[in-house]
Amino acid sequence: MRIRSIGARLAIPAVAIGLIVSGCSSDSTQTAPSDIGSTNDINPRDPSELRDGGNLRTDLTALPQNFNYLNVDGTDENTSSVIDPVMPSAFTADAAGNIGINHDYFTDIQLTGTDPQKVTYTINPQAVWSDGTPITWEDLKSEAHALSGADPGYLLSSPSGFDKVASVERGVDDRQAVLTFSKPYAEWKGQFSPLYPKSVTQTPQAFNESIRSNLPVSAGPFVITNIDRTQNRITLGRNPKWWGAPPKLDTVTFSVLDPTAVLAAIQNNEIDYAYLSGRTNVVAAHSIPDITVRTAPESRWNVLTFNGAPGAVMSDAKVRVAISKAIDRQAIADALQNGIVTNPRPLNNHIFLSGQKGYQDNSAPSAFDPAAAAAELDALGWKLNGDVREKDGRKLVLKDVMYQQDAWVDVAKIIQENLQKIGVKLEIQTVPGQGLFTDVINPGNYDLAEHGWGGSVFPLGALEQIYYYDPNNPQSNSGRIGSPELNALIQKTISELDPEKAIDMANQADKMIWEEGFSLPLVQASGNYGVRSTLANVGAFGLATVDWTKVGYLK
């Protein structure tokens, strides 16, 4: 499943968004535009046309390893999918990425000062946690403190700008919070999304461990009613304390499925809604009775991340850039998306997606040029010794790790063939999704890692989370790559309140990221979903937020 709230603004690991081609083209498959923000495809219907009740069955790649999305172990797609219907977020977005206040939780959110920056949150007076406790300013204060970085005991995925918040104070009453910033923060609308109760954020122990295995207190139209670890299944039911429009569905069921089993599960009427990974699956889904393939480009992209940590074989930026030039990203784009996307092309920006305001091609430092790659490795002392380059007795052998899925392996084989031509050996290692990030990528046990990122309408948030480098707190910078100059530009960018200036600085930062050989963006996701034809207000959302109260079955 690939849907999540606008509030989940962090770039999250998306382990299975690859779209690989196999077989010939089919007239039943329609290609989609490449640019995001142009459309969505959800079968929009008025709630009056839907029946009350029903169970929506969908898939996960693994059970969440921590239901705290803000924790370093919780920031992944599985956690995001499960908490989307059950946790508060401050803002919503439409298909074009236009942002609005989430009035279920806040009656008003306003920038009330710029020198210093102040933001005032007025909480919906009806909003309560599922245990009946009111949502108050203290919940916001506690989360802001947890994410501020002031206490290193909190294992954060990202500070989300709270490291720039000087104080959170009570407003006119307990239902209002006033944030005062020590430094401006451009993406302030991405904060408190999701919002957790203060019981989860008040201590490092609670933050890191209290909801690792369950989420007993939430505040959405649904709550978690059962977690069956034997069957690898999570069930959501209606929240009896919910104050907003009543949801149409009775339940939502998440079942863990290997990506290779998703199509069969749709065909056998075991699930109703799932992401379709691969053109073969898309073509096959078109012929399944009672299934509609819904398509809209979305804010997710595949990436090849490099390990540049001290002692790693690619610790030298010049080596990483040379390796980048040997990889044919257009061939990868063709292999992944031919027949699915109109005019497949690689993603050429680390910050903005094609179609987003600010997107421009900054990829010149990694332009495909095998001859230049070989010459640069020669100049760096990596000389051919037989079929493999060697320097100071160390062979240029790279370990490429990825989720255990054919699509990723096929990409790795393209890279392997590319690198073999310049005397670099690539070893392919697949890892089950449950441990790919916690056991391999986050600790840095790789040379190259194939995975995906999921973003949102707040793209600048990824700058600090992924590309800022603090050796004492790498956040999602698993490759340990960066520079003081890049750090300074990132801080300047995310502190710029003028959107046009922030976009310009973000692209300056992106150029530095390419020059560092940080990673290679591959392609952004086209967003193909198999959806039960009787379902409404659900499908391929693009940039839009899901309204879980409106998802349901037609009468």
Q: Which fold has domain 300-524?
A: Dipeptide-binding Protein; domain 3 (3.10.105)
Task: Please give the structure tokens belonging to residue 287.
Answer: 């012929």
3-state secondary structure 235-284: EEEECCCCCCCCCCCCEEEEEECCHHHHHHHHHCCCCCEEECCCHHHHHH
CATH architecture label of 47-55+221-296+527-554: 3-Layer(aba) Sandwich (3.40)
Contacts of 116 (CB under 8 A, 6+ apart): 166, 180, 181, 182, 184
Please list the residues that pair with 32 across neighbouring strands: 341
pLDDT at 158: 84
pLDDT at res. 21: 29
pLDDT at 77: 86
Predicted pLDDT of residue 462: 85
Contact in structure between 492 and 183 (CB atoms under 8 Å):
no
pLDDT given for residue 32 in this prediction:
58
412 to 269, 416, 438, 456: CA distances (angstroms): 33, 6, 21, 27
What's the pLDDT score for residue 18? Answer: 32
pLDDT of the chain, 555 residues: tens digit per residue: 444 433 333 344 443 333 322 222 333 345 555 677 667 899 999 999 999 999 999 999 899 999 999 998 898 889 999 999 999 999 999 888 889 999 999 999 999 999 999 999 999 999 999 999 999 999 999 999 999 999 999 999 888 899 999 999 999 999 999 999 999 999 999 999 999 999 999 999 999 999 999 999 999 999 999 999 999 999 999 999 999 999 999 999 999 998 889 999 999 999 999 998 777 888 899 999 999 999 988 888 999 999 999 999 999 999 999 999 999 999 999 998 887 788 899 999 999 988 888 999 999 999 999 999 999 999 999 999 999 999 999 999 999 999 888 888 999 999 999 999 999 999 999 987 667 887 898 899 999 999 988 777 888 888 988 999 999 888 889 999 999 999 999 999 999 989 999 999 999 999 999 999 999 999 988 889 999 999 999 999 988 999 999 999 999
Domain map (residue ranges) of the chain: 47-55+221-296+527-554, 65-210, 300-524
Output the six-digit token pair for 77.
């797609």
Q: Which homologous superfamily is 65-210 in?
A: Dipeptide-binding Protein; Domain 1 (3.90.76.10)
Instruction: Spell out where 441-503 has E strands.
Output: 448-454
Q: Rounded CA gap, 263 and 321, in Å? A: 39
CA gap 333, 338 in Å, rounded: 7
- Degrees (nearest 5) of the Cα angle 294, 296, 298? 130
